[in-house]
Structure 1
Amino acid sequence: MHYRRIKQIKIIITIKVADSDCCAFLCALLVVAFNMLMLEQLKVYAVPNLAVDYIIAGRWKVTKFLGNGLFGSVYDVIDMQSENEEHYAAKVEYTESLPTLEGEGHILKEMKNKDHICKLITSGNDGRINYMILTLTGKNLLQVQEEIPNYMFRKTDVFKIAVQCFEAIRELHEEQYVHCDIKPENFAVERNGTFDKLYLLDFGIARKLSPKDAKHNLRYGYKEDVMACFCMIMSMYRGLLYANRYQIENEFKELSNGKRNMKSSKNNYPKEFLEVYNYLDGLLQTDMPDYMKRMELLELLSRADRLSSSVNCVSPKPGSFDTIRQVTELGEKLWRRTTAASTTDEQDDSSTVELPTVDIKAGLLGDDARSRHSTRRTRQFVDPFQKSVDEARGNIVMQAVQASCDEVTENWGSQHVMKKRNAWTKMKKQHYYVLVPGSESKPTVQSTDGPRPVSGRCWTAMNETQTAFGKVVIDYVDTLLDGETGFRFRNNCLEAVKQLDNQYALTMWENVQLLADMILSACKKGENGFVDRTSSEYKLKFGRLMLDYLQKQFVEFMRGVVKERLHQAQMGAVPGAPGLVTAFLNVLMPTPYPGYENVLINQQPVWAIIYYCLRAGHVQAAKSVAEEAGPSLTAVVRAFDRLDSVTAEPMDFNDDDDILLEYEKASNSTGDPYKRAVYCWLTLNDWMDTVPVFDRIEDWLWIKLRQTVLTQRRLSMVKNSKSKYRINMLPLDALQEVVLFEHGEKYFLRHRSPLVYWTALWFSGQFEAAIEFMCRQGELLRSCAVHVALALYADGLLACDDQNDDIQGPLLDVNRGCSPLCRLNLVRLVVSYTSQFENQSPSVALKYFYLLRRFHDHAHNSMFAVCFEKLLRQQADRNHLLGCINETGSLKPGCIDSFKFERHQTIAYVAKTAHARGQWQLALQCYELIDDVDKALQLLTNMLFSVVARQEREDGLRTTVLTLANKMHDRLASSKAKCNNVAIFQKILLIGNYFTIYFNGEFNQAFQLLRRIDLIPMNVSEKDFYVSSSFNLPDKIRLLLPELLLSYMNMLIEDCKLFHCESSKRGFSGANSKDDLKAMAEALISFASLIRLRLPGGFLGLLVHKKAAMI
């Protein structure tokens, strides 16, 4: 009852319901809340608890729970759309809880290029939860420390962790963010568990510092982050799990003030730690620390500790020095060991020298027996004088070693730091540059064209590959704009690739060139300029072309093998395919393989010779070998007889059952792999995946394409393709599904070469999937893949949807069961590629966008116009791209003017889009550029109407609009615009100029300008005329009448005040007396009451009240 009489304070506190570790925190908070009389106002939010195998957004499958955050949970998920089942981290929260993920996602987007901050993959909403997908890291530092014996890190690891932590905080601070929650739980190691790279986590309470914050005494800034990190490192150095930061700071303050000695300190800190603390303690919260200097110091400490560990890696053995010679030998050996240790970070345990500490005697460098003897003798004869001599000898050696170690460490450390600095400077100059807003020194890069982007955005220069391909695209587009034909885009791209000296890219482009030439020579284009890849004719011709190419390549391969081993090949002078095949087999298999069947010809199995003749495309040679083998191969000879002499395909499938019967008989008995391979070539059987001969990607593709050709031929000739024997139909669409789905990227990448999977996709006719795959194989191959797509599109070979492709759509649209199987989103491919350099080289990006002119979005807008508008929004100087109209009325051309046929449509789209967004100046500029004067006048009139009667504000919009309107008045009024639009514009502009003079208090000029406006009566006789003419006024001008009436009444009042002055000067209104002024005011009030206009409430009363003030 007592508490009910106290006034309640309505504050909502949000707490977390998590695991049992938070119970103590929860109970304490409830007690405090009860004492604060807020128990009924507590709002409890639960964190998501997702089950294993739960699927987020239809893509991310939960595999393991990782932990809880403040308002959400973290899970290990796999990407079900990835062939490799890649693992990621998913942070989830309920939608009704506090939206912390939204702010953290915004920070991660700004940190996307940082080395020590996780990359944001995607984020969104899935029902009741918000989610965010990040790259997966290893354990956090607290978890790692808990697994270490005695919680004690190695000193080398502490120094390494310190360097990585400060580097991570530096990357965050460079973007003006402070973390506000630095602790071991928010630093994670790599997934392999090493300390080579640490990641900074959890930006839920991070905040951004603004320049205004420097003027205030902040509680949390840059200093607080680095000081918290320093204390965290000290706790790891001391082996404390949960360190007291106040205790660590107090200890270092005593060390800094001299109240405690560094050597007498029980923690035995290195003196460099005190230097770091003194530097950090002297900073303000908004001061940016010098990270580079401190990290170099910690890295040098790490190197020194690692060097000492390599020299002193085992415990010293007690012993004594018997002679001065032994002391000398030990000193020389120690010098050699420490000198060698300076050139490497790790030493073999067997080559280390055992050094004693200050209080223990140095052991002898001899065999174990002598060492044990010396040890026994030392234990038996303990002479105080000898002991002092041994200690002196040990001190001499230790001083020499310490001096050498200091010298080596200092020299090596300075050289290492200098080398790293030079390498970093060289890399920045040769590769890419990133401008950070507000940096003192910016690298100078020669701009390829145009202005730099808006200040505050990052830009990158074009690399060597992009520049080479960009020149080809520029020449190609210029040729198209000039109306010329015959530019060989693919050939020029191939020449550009040859200059890059990359074998992967060169091999890919050579195959592209060859395949495109073969298809274009064999297939005709349709009326739309594209080859119909869905027709049966195309599929049959494609299979034949690929077979012919693979067979010719294999002939060259055999010749190369034989040429290298002429003595072993024993080819002889007999020309023809059988001789080449026999010589090749002499090299490949000097002795016949076990399990061969039938006879030997030239000491080689007949089935192997027949197979390699077929593999080389020499069917007649294979037939002659089968005939030479005798009656055992009669069925095979008959099968060869029914083949067409040109295409090597069956002329009639009606008698196909004979060879299928032979296949059925041999399937259960033969063990000869080459016999199985020959039957795979002859018939549509199901042996292909069980024949070990097809172990190379080229052989596998060759036999698959042979089966595809037989299938397409059979489907085109036989209406009913059924047979009483087993047949395995493999049309081209089925082969493509086998490569893309049944095997897939994971299967082919076992060879660890992207060319293997690319070859399987390319030679199975899946150009789009091959391009998409190469886009994920590094920047060089990505650039090549983009231009392969452009080349195929120019040749009419690319499957894409020019009516539905857009920037936001998926890059590859896969429709299983359709033909073609995949369609490539060329728009997204080109836009994502040009986004790397469009800010620095906008004119080059425009050339790429021109190639998308035939594509349209869902609103039927040209993608060239859409991409141009997107690029224009990112530029600071739009005139470089758009052009402008000078004050003299002449056109200053921009980059868009070189695209003559697309110029008008593109600028019209930009004007419409800018008008809808409220960018009236850009829209006005565009309307002028396309000579749409009526829309320009209407837009400028609307802007004038919205600001003409109001006083100037902080945004300066009124001055901007009036200045621009006065500047464009003569140009717009003299154009071919509608007379009505010109008249309204001129009248409102005149009213705007009147109010400008009126607001400045220049009533004499304002009164004269009001007479020119000619909208309100200046005396009683004009009242009726203006009342009748007000009915015909446009709405925009009629709506401005109340402001004009009020301003006129205020000027009459000011003029009335002049009659009270002793000056004999006449007022600006022309009235001779106060009575004249009152009459003019009465005419004004009468006019306001007679016009058909809904005046503001109380407006007439206001005018009457102002007239009454004219005394």
Structure 2
Amino acid sequence: MDFNTLLQQAQRLTNETQDSEELPRVERTISQVLEATEELHSRVTQTGAQDIQAHILLGSKGIDLPKLTQKLESLNTQKTFEPLDPIADTDIQSFLKNEKENAILSIIEEVHKSSNEAAQRRRWENIKAEWRQEKINILNSLVGPSQNWVDLQKVPEQSILLENSSMRSNLNRTEMAYAREVFEYNSIIIKGGCRPNLVQIFAKVAGSFEDQKVNEIWEIMKYMVNVSAISRTRDPIQSRLQIHQFVDQAKKYLENRYKLYMTTIISGNLREAQRGGVPSTFNLVSSFVGLTFNQGNWIGLQDATIEGKPLWPMVYYCLRCGDLPSALRCMQLGGAGHEDFVQVLEDKINKPEQKINSKLEGQLKLHYCNKIKNSTDPYKKAVYCIIAGCDVNEQHSEVAKTTDDFLWIQLSILRSDVSADNTEVLTYSGLQTTILEKYGETYFNANEQRHLYFQVLALTGQFEAAIEFLARTEQYRTHAVHIALALNEMCLIAGPRNVQEPLLSVDIEDPIPMRRLNMARLVMLYAKKFEITDPAEALQYFFFLRNLKDPEGCNLFLVCVRDLAIECRSYDMLFGTMQPNGIVSGGLFEKFECVDFDTRKAASMVAQELVRKGMFEDAIALFDIGGLQGQVIRYICVMLSQVVQEVSKKGSLRERLAIKAAEFSNRIRGSHVDCDGQMLHTFNLLNDLVTFFDYYHEQNYQIALEILSKTKLVPMSMNDLDECINNFRRLSGEICKVFPDILLATMDILFTQYKTIKNKESNMLDSTRDNQLHHLRQSAKAITNMAATVPYRMPGDTNKRLIQTEIMMH
């Protein structure tokens, strides 16, 4: 193409442009067009690149962005939640409008707030439940003292056991032997009999185990509980610190044990011992000292001799055997020079309940400090310290060769009723602190000698720490639990303020170094091993917790029964079964029937917990046992309304609920029922609907319609429509929920009857046949009218199906 041709085309286009009236004529030179193009390009590249891209993207999808922008800008949201304008008092219309808007806004705000609070509450409940379960799992995996706070509230995993399965008991021979005695003891307590001494009973059982260390443990406890009865209204720790019999009993045990040791030594060396005369502690000590000391090992011993034996060893071993008269005899045979010492011994013998004369005791202490402390005779030093209670830091290692000796000396020199600033006197709490905190488990090699460390703790009155230490190992845990049970029944165990505390805890108000033992946790951890396989034995142990409360104030025994029932799901075994005459028979809990506990209360607690977990079917049976008829009816209605329209199958939920409902209905017929009238009416209607749907699914349509007509729920003609609508307004939500299925089932029955009459060849008159068909059509019309009229939101296809069926009947 040449330039002439281009010029002609340009002129033609110019002429066409000049003839157009739609666009104004614009005359620009080439330079002006170039300048405008560059300006437009710079503007687009600097500020409008994204807008251009948005226009291009949305334009490709058929969206007009400028028009959409105009629509968005035209929206006005200012009046949605803005404050209402003030109005005059006489402007009724504006006042009502404002009140309406205020009501709407308040409802929106309230719903928003309540929804937010409910979501937060459920979130925290879920978090707490997860943490609680995790803490329980951690605690159950540990036996030692926990430093965490763990709720006693268990969240058991549901498990269903096969009916024909037989579980083997998890109780071993030792545990079973103790469990039999626990059962006998609880039976006596429930019957109101005299409370036996559990320590004596358990010690007798332990004697059959042929374990010397276990026998020694129970022997210690027999000595330590042989004190005056402890008041059940006082704190056990305060009572223990104020009753000096615990110290006397500990000394008596150590003294008798040493006397037995002496006898054993002499029996093995009868010829060298040359024991003779009347059997007595003095002769026993004399023979023992004769075996222990000879002329070659008298180095350092001082003062006179008695029948050829050193004086102070004779006195010490008489005291070590707990025989003060024999010690006094030794001093009298030892000659003069010890008048003050003799006087103190005589006072101890003649006035054991009175405090030693402070003047005489002071003179002995002074004499000890001046002359005896640096003596070479270790027995003389030990005797003076024991009688005068001085030099509490002296270990007497040459005399106290065993732990028993050391502990006996410490118990002998301690004093009570001393001033707080007197550091030269050993107190009971001071000895306890020394044993538990200063020396501790390491000093006594407790891991290798558990029975020894238990002995030291128990003999110093620290029962809680001793039991907790013994319960850490599988070997001694069973014995520790039963020691705790026995002492707790005698009010000798101090429990924590809250059952959620660790197994062993410290109360800031208690004197140092006393501990508190969580009996609830100890018993529950012990019973957890066998509570599924041996629930009867577990209940016996839970009964010991009957005087404790959980954080919500519920009886801990009943709480444990509740958790056990939910975990093993053997409700009939625990609470028995309801007979047709309304009497509950059987059940393990029946053995605990007394003034404070009964099966009805326990079953009701379990039922309420089952409801909280959503296990309504199990809760129904337990509410029935608990005598809460209103709750039985309520939850039968809740569950039955969800399955009443289904086909009844063998073993299905519907069949089980229908049987329960029928049995309960027959039992309460003719008697007063403690239940809301509306709920009872709903229960009766659901029973009728169960029968209606049973006949409907069996295709016994005529009987089904007769049952339905008695309920006055569905109109059989247009004349019944108003009455049925009025009845519907008084129905509960359980019946309304199943109402669409009732209408569909009724319409299906009518349509089936319609087809049967229409297709049946018979000799009936046409008029009779037409009347029957007309009646069925009228009934169908009444049903569709009711479905459209009742104040209830039907499912989406219900009205459609009803109308289609009605149309098919014309």
Same fold (TM over 0.5): yes
Q: Which residue of 2 aligns with 1:695?
A: 401
Structure 1 residue matching 2:209: 3-state secondary structure: coil
Matches within 5 A, 1:522-537: 523-528=228-233, 532-535=236-239
The answer to whether the 8 A contact 2:378-2:398 is kept is: yes
Alignment match, 1:788: 483
Cα distance change, pair 460–721 in 1 and its aligned pair in 2 (3 A): closer
The answer as to whether partners of 2:286 and 2:314 remain within 8 angstroms in 1 is: yes
The amino acid of 1:938's aligned partner reads R
Paired residues of 1:1081 and 1:1107 also in contact (CA < 8 A): yes
Change (3 A) 1:551 1:980: same
Does structure 1 residue 1024 correspond to structure 2 residue 722? Answer: yes
Equivalent pair of 2:236/2:494 in contact (CA under 8 Å): no
Question: Residues 64-104 of structure 1, C-alpha deviation per residue, up to 9 Å, x if partnerless?
Answer: xxxxxxxxxxxxxxxxxxxxxxxxxxxxxxxxxxxxxx9xx
Change (3 A) 1:460 1:749: farther
| Counterparts of 1:853 and 1:648, CA distance in 2 | 38
- In 1: Cα distance, 2:687 partner to 2:173 partner: 54
Shift of 1:452: 8.7
Select which of 967, 984, 1007 maps to 2:705: 1007
CA distance in 2, matches of 1:855, 1:831: 13
Q: How does 1:357-756 map to 2 (within 5 A)?
A: 459-460=168-169, 462-485=171-194, 487-516=196-225, 518-519=226-227, 523-528=228-233, 532-535=236-239, 538-570=242-274, 573=277, 580-591=284-295, 592-619=297-324, 621-623=326-328, 625-626=330-331, 633=338, 636=341, 645-647=350-352, 650-653=355-358, 657-666=362-371, 669-681=374-386, 682-689=388-395, 691-708=397-414, 710=415, 712=416, 714-715=417-418, 720=419, 722=421, 727-749=423-445, 752-756=448-452
Q: Secondary structure at the match of 2:551?
A: coil
Match of 1:1092 in 2: 791
CA 966–550 in structure 1, closer or farther in 2 if over 3 Å, else same: same
> Distance between the aligned counterparts of 2:761 and 2:327, measured in 1?
126
Measure, in 1, the Cα distance between the counterparts of 2:612 and 2:623: 14
Check whether the contact 2:373–2:381 (CA below 8 A) recurs between aligned residues. no
2:518 to 810, 817, 825: 825
Q: Which residue identity lines up with residue 320 of structure 2 in the other structure?
A: R
Cα 1:641–1:478 shift into 2, 3 Å: closer
Long gaps (5+) in structure 2: 1-129, 148-158
Please list, as runs of the form range in 1=range in 2, the aligned pairs for 1:828-977 lying within 5 A after superposition: 828-873=521-566, 875=568, 878-887=571-580, 891-901=584-594, 902=597, 903-950=599-646, 956-977=652-673
When you count strand as a share of all residues, which structure comes out higher?
Answer: 1
- Of 468-477 and 826-835, more deviation after overlay is shown by 826-835
Letter in 1 for 2:553: H
Q: Which residue of 2 aligns with 1:389?
A: none
Describe the shift of the 1:503–1:1034 C-alpha distance in structure 2 as closer, same or farther (beyond 3 A): same
Structure 1 residue 764: Cα displacement:
1.0
Q: Does 1:1044 align with 2:736?
A: no
Are 1:775 and 2:471 matched, yes or no? yes
Secondary structure of the structure 2 residue equivalent to 1:691:
coil
Report if aligned partners of 1:907, 1:930 keep a CA contact under 8 Å in 2.
Answer: yes
- Which of the numbers 743, 748, 758 marks the counterpart of 2:454? 758
- Give the greater-gyration-radius structure (CA): 2
Contact 1:688 1:703 in 2 (8 A): no
- Shift of residue 934 of structure 1? 1.8
Report if the CA contact (8 A) 1:479-1:485 is conserved.
yes
Q: Which runs of 5+ in 1 are unaligned?
A: 1-101, 110-118, 127-436, 438-450
Alpha carbons 2:231, 2:491 under 8 Å: kept: no
CA 1:898–1:632: 2 relative to 1, 3 Å = closer
| CA deviation profile, 1:990-1031 (whole Å, cap 9, x unmatched) | 123323433455433332222122112221222222333333
The change in CA–CA distance for 1:890 and 1:571 in structure 2 (over 3 A counts) is: closer
- Cα 1:975–1:538, aligned 2, differ >3 Å: closer, same or farther? farther
Instruction: Letter of the 1:495 partner, please give it.
Output: K
Distance in 2 (alpha carbons) for counterparts of 1:673 and 1:836: 53
| TM-score, L = length of structure 2 | 0.70
Please identify runs of 4+ aligned residues in structure 1 that moved more than 6 A: 119-122, 451-458, 952-955
Do 1:472 and 1:492's aligned partners in 2 also have CA atoms closer than 8 Å?
A: yes
Identical amino acids, percent of aligned pairs = 24
CA distance in 2, matches of 1:797, 1:492: 17
**Equivalent residue of 2:549, what SS?**
coil
Which of the numbers 1068, 1077, 1081 marks the counterpart of 2:780?
A: 1081
1:678 is displaced (CA, Å) by: 2.3
TM-score (norm 1): 0.53
Q: Please report how far the alpha carbon of residue 969 of structure 1 lies from its aligned counterpart in structure 2 after TM superposition.
A: 2.5
What is the rounded CA distance, in whole Å, between the counterparts of 1:896 and 1:631 in structure 2? Answer: 73
What is the distance in 1 between the residues matched to 2:616 and 2:770? 44
Name which structure has the greater RCO, CA cutoff 8 Å, separation 6+.
2
SS at match of 1:805: coil
In the alignment, the residues of structure 2 paired with residue 750 and residue 912 of structure 1 have an alpha-carbon distance, to the nearest angstrom, of: 47
For residues 1052 and 701 of structure 1, do their structure 2 counterparts lie closer, same or farther at Cα, with a shift above 3 Å needed? same
Q: Count how many residue pairs are aligned between Structure 1 and Structure 2.
A: 651
Equivalent residue number for residue 984 of structure 1:
682
The alpha carbon displacement at 1:762 in A equals: 1.7
1:454–1:874 CA contact under 8 A, matched in 2: no
Kindly provide the CA deviation profile for residues 268-310 of structure 1, in whole angstroms up to 9, marking residues without a partner as x: xxxxxxxxxxxxxxxxxxxxxxxxxxxxxxxxxxxxxxxxxxx
Q: Distance in 2 between matches of 1:1098 and 1:983?
A: 29
- CA drift of 1:534 comes to 1.1
Matched with 1:434 is: none
Deviation track 1:956-1012 (CA, whole Å, cap 9, x = no partner) reads: 323332233234321243443145443221101212332343345543333222212
Cα deviation, residue 586, structure 1: 1.4
Query: What SS does the aligned partner of 2:445 have?
Result: helix
The aligned amino acid for 2:554 is N
1:893 Cα deviation after fit = 1.6
Q: Report the structure, 1 or 2, having the larger helix content.
A: 2
Q: 1:428-455: per-residue Cα shift (whole Å, max 9, x none)?
A: xxxxxxxxx9xxxxxxxxxxxxx99777
Contact 1:680 1:687 in 2 (8 A): no
The corresponding residue for 1:96 is none
Amino acid paired to 2:555 = S
Write the letter of the residue equivalent to 2:405: D
Cα-to-partner distance string for 1:508-555 (whole Å, 9 max, x where unaligned): 223322332x21xxx233254x78441476342321232234334434
Amino acid aligned to 1:805 = V
Match of 1:138 in 2: none
Inter-partner Cα distance in structure 2 for 1:795 and 1:877 = 34
Please give the secondary structure, in 1, of the residue aligned with 2:429: helix
Give the AA of the match of 2:526.
Y
Superposed displacement of residue 1096, structure 1: 4.5
Aligned residues of 1:1056 and 1:1074 also touching (Cα < 8 A)? yes
1:607 aligned partner, one-letter code:
W
Letter in 2 for 1:513: K
Across the aligned residues of Structure 1 and Structure 2, the Cα RMSD in angstroms comes to 4.1
